[in-house]
Every structure is written in C-alpha cells, then in structure tokens.
Structure 1
Amino acid sequence: MAPKVLVVLTSHEKLGNTGRLTGWYLPEFAHPYDGFKAAGFEVTVASPKGGVAPLDAGSVEMFKNDPSSVKFLNQNKELWENTEKLESFLGKADQFDAIFYPGGHGPMFDLPIDATSQKLIVEFASKGKIVSAVCHGPAAFVNVKTEDGEYFLRGKEVTGFSNVEEDQVQLSKEMPFLLEDRLIEATGGKFVKADEPWGVKVVVDGKLITGQNPASAKRVGEAIVEALSTA
C-alpha cells in the first residue's frame, strides 16, 4: 500500500502590520512533493480553515526560474485551492504515515496557536508516525505539549529558519516571535543550523524531520521518503 502524507498549509495571509500578503512558500511544498510523487506516495492537503490556502506571491516570483516550482504551480493548483479542513483529520493518524508542514511566513501566525494542529501532531507522534516540517513550518511545533505537559520538542534536535536569515529578509520585527528562539526554548537548547545562512540543513531525530530554509526543502522530502521506505 502506498505511503500517505498529510500536508498542512497555513490559512494566514497577512504579513504582520506591513499591509503585505504572505502565506505558504512555493518551493517548500513543490520540492518535497516531487519526491513524494516519484516514490508513489499519496498526498492529502489540509489547512486550519480549509478551502484556499494562501500562496506567498513573493515565492512565486523568487522561484519563477525553478522548474520544479513552476511545474508545481501550473499543474497542482487544486492541492492548495481545495484544502480539507484540518479538524476533519483528528483521530485519523492511523490512516497516514507522515504529517508535513511547509513553511512561509504565514505559518508563524496561525499554526503555533492552532489547537487542532497541536492535537494532530501529538496524535501522529504517539502513533509512531513521521512528524516533519521545513523553514517556518516548525513553528507549528513550538507550543505543542504531550499528555504529561512537557514540550513535544523537549530533548529533540531540530532546525528551522534562523534568526540571521529572518534578519536578512528584514522581517524579524514583523514576526510574532523569532522561530530560532522558540525552538531553542522548546527543545531545551537543541536547535542546530547550517554553518552559513541559507545553507542546506536537515535534521532527523527519530521520527522528527526538520529543514532549515527553502534550500533544505528538497532534502527534507528525500528524508521523509527514505524514512518511510525503510520503515
């Protein structure tokens, strides 16, 4: 039976108080998706509100010369324009092999405080499923606590969009928090990152798979495929 991945996209489209729009980041879904489909995986897409999950137009422009992103944009609009409501998947972790959160700045605003998302992450983890995210996607994990009241990430090695990278895109002041800081807090100091900003960094800690930035998205997808192929 083909492995099944539940992809969770943000429903948030406003970039802080800038008046600009945001959402999920194109290559951070497109590149892993290529790997999932090549491996024969089934992909289901959800978001907190359901319906259209906002795509960050800036990522479309930034990756307009990236064949993977362009192909995904042109051929797969139904994936993010008709997402299923996240709450409909509660109690259904057994139907999937992994849950994956692409990044973009949108996830920084809605996913960390989404109770349904938090419950799903705990459910997937408790069932021994892959829990994964890239770039700002790990923001979905920072407030998740297990049944014993401890952080889900406590003691786990993790990566995500770094403070330096956030500074370099000049959005640190617009974020509700800095992801690196919160990941350090939630893990108890086990945040790691590439030697240089924007370098590829993927961390596999048991069933938890995280990537640092857009450049890491393809490798995150490969790590998920590898994990499920050897399970």
Structure 2
Amino acid sequence: MQKILMVLTSHSEMENTDGKTGVWLGEFTDPYYEFIDAGYAVTLTSPKGGRPPVDPMSELTENITGSNRRFQDDQAAKTAFSQTTVLNQINAAEYDAVFYPGGHGPIWDLAKDNNSGILIHDFLDSGKPVALVCHSPAALISAELQRPGFLQGKVVSAFSNTEETMVGRSGNVPYLLQSKLEELGAEVKTALVPFLSHVETDGLLITGQNPLSAGPAAKALIELLQQRPEETLPKGEDENSSSAQFAE
C-alpha cells in the first residue's frame, strides 16, 4: 500500500487581533478522504505534534463541506488528527508523496520550519510529488531558504492578494503570500475569479489556490502517483506494517 504524508500547521495566532487561525478544516478533510477512498495509507504530522489548531472560521456553517461532516462521524480519523507525529521524526523515504493543507498558520510556522523545507527537497529529489494548497505554499519559502533559487521560474498557485483582502485578514498577516512567492522568483497563477478552484502542476510540484482547490489538488497528486510504478517498500517494512496514524 502506498503512503501519503500530510503536513499540518501548529500555529494558531493571527497578528494585531484576538482572532485565531490554524488548519482550514476542509483543506485537510477534502484531500484526506480523497486519499483514503483511493486506498492510500495516510500519516499526519505537524511541527509540534499532537492536535493541530483548527481555524474557527472553517467550522462555520457556510464553510462546512461534506468531508467535514464525514470527519465528525469518523472516530478513527479524529483520533489520528489529535495524535499527529512531530515533524522532526518523519523520514521522507517511508512515503510516496506529501500533501500540505492550508489555513493561515503555515505562513508563520511552515514558512520558517527547516525540517519542512528539507522534507520538500527530500521528496522532490527522490522523484516523489509534493502538493500544497491555499496558504501552505508558504512552506516553499523554507525550501527556498534551504536552496536559494529553488523557486526561480516555478509555476505555482496560492491564496491570492485579492482573496486575502476580501477575507479581511490582510492586516493580520506578516506578508501577502502571493507577493512573497513572486519576490522569490515564482510565477504565481490564480483563477480569474477569486475563490474559484485553481490548481497548477509544475513537474512534481502541485499547488492549489484556495479551499475549493484542496480536493482537486489531491486528485492531481493521485494522478501523478498512478503514473509512477509502486516502489518496493523500504527495508524493514512490509505490507502489514505502517507508520501511518490512520491505516485501519
């Protein structure tokens, strides 16, 4: 069974406000069930381990998705979510792909996390796909710090400056993600209409613009995996063993 790693933020504080952030729930649950339903084992990890913070806005009625409701009735998935592995304990060699859900949190922690930056390079260097959605392409900033010039000419998508302004949080973040990625040399492409789904694939790098792009980005990741022959498991692993937090 192929294994997918999902990297979640551990950051919960917005700037200049008492408002909270964290993982945008649908950006986790939509891809999570795409992977589970396609037969992949999923491991969850975060910089601090344990239960990641969830952006309260993503749990409002107008933002609830079908996968959110499924998650609330899925005790095994909720247990896995509350017990994420600490990121520095993850070995990229044990997984076939990595997916980064968004929420505002990544623009603080994953953008600076050396372990995350190294992890992204480990996957790409091994010919394994990397997918990031909404604000999680901020993790590419750490990858850029590890290897200056990494983002030069990369075609990516991410939560746009326009969308940040429209959700009223542009004054509560340390930088605008689209602008930051462009400053580092990336070509950021977005949908013509804000908040519509948009996914870019540049080689093994898949990026989605916003919450509606999470499921499509996961499907794009699965398509890449299906194009690659399943590799033999690492030494010491077998089909019945898994480091996944949820494989039951």
Band of TM-score, shorter chain: over 0.9
- Which residue of 1 is the match for residue 237 of structure 2? none
Given that residues 156 and 189 in structure 2 are in contact (C-alpha distance below 8 angstroms), is that contact kept between their aligned partners in structure 1? Answer: yes
Contact 2:9 2:106 in 1 (8 A): yes
What is the rounded CA distance, in whole Å, between the counterparts of 2:62 and 2:96 in structure 1?
29
Cα distance between partner residues in 2 of 1:15 and 1:146: 23
Gaps in structure 1 of 5+ consecutive residues: none
Partner of 1:154: 152
Counterpart of 1:202? 199
- Structure 1 CA distance, aligned partners of 2:127 and 2:51? 30
1:144–1:151 Cα contact (<8 Å) kept: no
Contact 1:162 1:193 in 2 (8 A): yes
Deviation of 1:119 (Å): 1.2
After superposition, residues 181-200 of structure 1 pair within 5 angstroms as 181-186=179-184, 188-200=185-197
Q: 1:62 to 1:23 in 2, by over 3 A?
A: farther
Gap change, CA 1:63 and 1:133, over 3 Å in 2: farther
The answer on whether the counterparts of 1:6 and 1:98 sit within 8 Å (CA) in structure 2 is: yes
- 1:230 offset after TM fit, Å? 1.3
Letter in 2 for 1:95: E
**Alpha-carbon contact 1:198-1:213 (below 8 Å) kept:** yes
TM-score (norm 2): 0.87
Asked if structure 2 preserves the Cα contact closer than 8 Å seen for 1:143 and 1:151, the reply is: no
Partner letter of residue 82 of structure 1?
A: Q
Q: Secondary structure at the match of 1:141?
A: helix
Letter in 2 for 1:24: V
Change (3 A) 1:135 1:64: closer
Identical amino acids, percent of aligned pairs? 42
Q: Which residue of 1 aligns with 2:214?
A: 217
Measure, in 2, the Cα distance between the counterparts of 1:157 and 1:59.
28
The structural deviation recorded for 1:38 is: 1.4
Structure with larger Rg: 2
Could you list the runs of 5+ residues in structure 2 that have no partner in the other structure?
A: 229-248
Report if aligned partners of 1:64, 1:70 keep a CA contact under 8 Å in 2: no
Give the match's secondary structure for 2:174.
coil
**C-alpha deviations, 1:164-218, integer Å up to 9, x for none?**
00000111111111000011122x2511000110111000111000000001111
Deviations 1:7-47 (A, max 9, x none): 01001111122112110001111111121011101100000
TM-superposed CA distance for 1:151, in Å, is 3.2
2:58 aligned partner: 59
Residue 64 of structure 1 deviates from its aligned partner by 5.8
Deviation of 1:127 after TM superposition, in Å, equals: 1.1
Figure out how many residues of one structure are paired with residues of the other and give that number: 226
What's the CA shift for 1:79?
2.5
